[in-house]
Every structure is written in C-alpha cells, then in structure tokens.
Amino acid sequence: MILKFLAIFLLLWKTSPAEKARFDGFSVLRVIPKSEKQHLALKQLLRNSQLEIDVWRFPGFVSQSADIQISPKHFFKLNQTLTELGFRSELLIRDVQKLISEQERKNKGVKETAEVFNYGKYHTLDEVNNWIDNVTKFHPNITSVFEVTKSYEGRTIRGIKISTGDGKSKPGFFIEGGIHSREWISPATLLFMAGQMLDRYTADLRIKQMVDSFNWFILPVFNVDGYEYTWSKNRNWRKTRSKHGLCVGVDPNRNWDYDWCKEGASKDPCSDMYCGPNAFSEVEVKGVADFIMKNSKGMKGFIDFHSFAQLWMSPWGYTTKLPPDFKDQDKGSQLAVEALEKVYGTKYKHGSIANTIYVASGSSADWTYGAAKIKYSYGVELRDTGKYGFLLPPEEIIPSGTETLEALIALANYVVNN
C-alpha cells in the first residue's frame, strides 16, 4: 500500500495541475484466460499497483478477453509476467495517445454552427447543457428540463423529459449515459436518440408510438465532474471526483445500495472499481437514485448506457443466479439486439450482467430492479469490441445512435405489451 501511495504521489508530482495527461507510447493488450487457474492469476495480476495497469475490459470468466492499458515503462515487465503465466497477448492499440489525438482532430473537424447542433460530434458538458436548454425551448409542448442534484464539485446534473399529452397516466422510462466518464459514445448516443425522438415525432409513426407510450426521462451525462475532467485533464478518467485520502473518485456503478461492495467491486480507494466508503456515498448516485425512486411508481423501463463490448444485459450483476423475471427481461434484450443488428449488421450478445460480462455488485441496474422494482432494467455496452475501445472516432456516433434507436423502439414496444 505504501508503494501504491508513493506511485500516486510521483504521478501527481510529475504532472502539474495545469497539464493534461498524455499517453504517448501507452498500449492496450488483450489476453484470454484458458483455464480457471489462468483466470485467477490474471485477476491477481490486474491488482498489481506497481505496474500502473488500467483495465479497459475486465476478465469476467474463463475464455473471456481482458483488455489492459499499460505504459511503455512497464510494457516489458507485463509481457514477461503474462508469458510466465502462459498467456499469449494480442496488441490491440499500439499508441493510445495517437488515438486520443486522432479523435480530438476529427472531432474539431466536424462542422457545427450556433443554429445547428451536429449529433455526429462529441460535445463538452457545457455544449450538452446548451443543447438541453435549446431543445426544450424549441419543443416546449412536449419537453421540459429536469434537474437531479448538484455534483461533488457543484455542477448541476440535468436531463430532459419528453412527455406528450397530459402524461399523468403514462408509465415512465429512464435512460442515462456517461456514468463512467471516459465512455464518450454513451452521452453522444443518447443525445442523438433524443434528437431523433423529437425531430421525427410527427413524421415517423414508430417514433410517435414509442414517444407516446412513456414519459421519457433522458439523462445524457450522469457523472458530470468526471466527464468534464476527461475533456480538461485526463481522457481516460472513469470515476467521480470525490476525495478519498490520497486517491480520487468512486466508481459510480459500484456505489448503489443493492448488494453493495461484494464481488466485482473494490474497497481500495485507488481502484477504478472502488465502491466508496459506503453505499450512496456519491452525491451523484444518491441524487439519481432519489429522483428515480420519486418517480418509480409508474416507472417501467431503465437503461444505463456504457461502452464498450456490444452487450445488452439485464440483472443480476451481483450474482450469476437469475432473477424470477429473467425470461421476460432477456426476451426484451433479444428483441433489442435483433432490431439493432438489422441496421448495419452490428452483433450484440445478451443475457444477465454477471453471466455475460462479469460479476459486479452495487450496480445501477441491480438497484433499479431490486430496490426500485423496475422490471425492465438493463445495462448496455455500446460500440465497439476493442479496436478503438473508449476512443471511438466521431464518425461512429450517428451509426451507433441509429442502430441503438432501433433497439430502443423494439424494447419499448415489448415493454408496453408486457
């Protein structure tokens, strides 16, 4: 633990507060455990703080790949250790900084005017908030702004509600993005889908039916502090920005008060899967949970959008045991991924969270299903499967939004009828 704190101190000392973290020469390796012995050894290795590993994709079980970001300083040592453990590694990304710079360059090249919002671009938090203000002013009869709470650093967490008619007798459907701040494709996809729901409402019968069936609560950026930090300081930041000793941040998808901080979460404040000092310690998580619970009486659907892996998943996350509603939940997942695949051929897997990706306790979907009693609760991992990881180029935003919207239409129709 002393070595871990020393490494963190040196990292902070080397990088002044005004500088933005760079990842020159950092690479991403993929390894696949072939046995339970290898799987356990890999999980132990990924906890080695001296290697300063950043896990992009966690190894849930045998035969499932793990994607590991490693610095040039520790590249040889990691490869040597993997070889000794019997692994064969695949180089997924040669230079992380080159991908970051390319994403930034392409994003700056996307044309946008003050009058026209370009959904094919990644947007800052300020730009997202401006979009919320503008779109609700442009569609005053069916949209309104909702505010959840203030973040740890004092930012307002905001979303839009889309509701047609009087809305009083309609069930609710809550969708959120950006709970993990570096997963930029998540907020971008939600913005695109919300824009389509409004722009095509009068022209597309399927959109109209979907919109009319629910009161839609759309929260594009959940982890506002972390998201802002990915733009200003560290593109790879995942957690919130609360302070915990020498370390910063809690994994907001391990902080929910449902089987909190058991398997698939960490009590180490320096871990990217740190569950927090207690359940709902993060004001962002507690605020969203309170908002959902306040509106949960009529809430029928919930989706937490993440990246990456191309998975459509339902509870449970904390255990591989299946809940009593799994058959109905998974049917919704199946219909969603089938509709999604028809657009561009993008293939998603579906199943329960723990059996599809890994065991993760204290997650949003477990809480909304187990505590808020929202039967159709899901966690979705958007594009891609590892070529770009969290650094998808902006030209993939609209395709991601287009195919995901088809999945949402299919799922919403299923939920209405079940």
Q: pLDDT tens-digit profile of 95-148?
A: 999 999 999 999 999 988 877 899 999 999 999 999 999 999 999 999 999 999
Query: Is the confidence at residue 12, as pLDDT, over 90?
Result: no
How much of the chain, in percent, has pLDDT values that exceed 90? Answer: 90
- DSSP structural state of residue 93: E
Q: Is 104 a catalytic residue?
A: no
- Which whole-number Å values give the CA distances from 322 to 287, 315, 317, 351, in the listed order? 28, 7, 9, 10
Give the model's pLDDT for residue 117. 94
Query: Is the confidence at residue 312, as pLDDT, over 90?
Result: yes
- Alpha-carbon span 188 to 185, nearest angstrom: 5
Give the model's pLDDT for residue 89. 94
* pLDDT tens for each residue of 151-174: 999 999 999 999 998 877 899 999
Give the model's pLDDT for residue 17. 53
Give the model's pLDDT for residue 50. 86
Mean pLDDT of all residues in 365-381: 98
Residues of the chain with CATH 3.40.630.10: 119-417
Which segments within 32-131 are labelled E, that is strand?
54-57, 66-70, 90-93
Band of residue 10 on the pLDDT scale cut at 50, 70, 90: very low
Query: Is the confidence at residue 48, as pLDDT, over 90?
Result: no
Give the model's pLDDT for residue 169. 83
Q: What is the mean pLDDT of the chain?
A: 94
Q: Are the beta carbons of 256 and 367 closer than 8 angstroms? A: yes
Query: Is the confidence at residue 366, as pLDDT, over 60?
Result: yes
pTM of the model: 0.94
Query: Is the confidence at residue 338, as pLDDT, over 90?
Result: yes
Query: Is the confidence at residue 357, as pLDDT, over 50?
Result: yes
Nearest to 396 by CA among 91, 98, 103: 103
Among candidate residues 176, 183, 282, 381, the one labeled active-site is: 381
Tokens of 285: 């998580």
Q: Which CATH architecture best describes the domain 119-417?
A: 3-Layer(aba) Sandwich (3.40)
User: What homologous superfamily is domain 2-105 in, according to CATH?
Assistant: Metallocarboxypeptidase-like (3.30.70.340)
Query: Is the confidence at residue 271, as pLDDT, over 80?
Result: yes
Dihedral sign (CA 287, 293, 298, 301) = positive
Give the model's pLDDT for residue 330. 98
Q: To which H or E segment does residue 195 belong?
A: helix 185-199
Give the model's pLDDT for residue 318. 98
Query: Is the confidence at residue 13, as pLDDT, over 60?
Result: no
Mean pLDDT of all residues in 373-386: 97
Give the model's pLDDT for residue 295. 87
Give the model's pLDDT for residue 206. 97
- Alpha-carbon span 349 to 400, nearest angstrom: 16
More confident call, 257 vs 6: 257
Mean pLDDT of all residues in 336-358: 98
Residues of the chain with CATH 3.30.70.340: 2-105
Mean pLDDT of all residues in 366-375: 97
What residue has token string 């933005």? 20
| CB neighbour list of residue 274: distance below 8 Å, 6 or more residues apart | 239, 244, 247, 249, 250, 251, 254, 265, 266, 267, 268
| Phi-psi label, residue 345: left if phi above 0, alpha if psi -120 to 50, beta otherwise | left
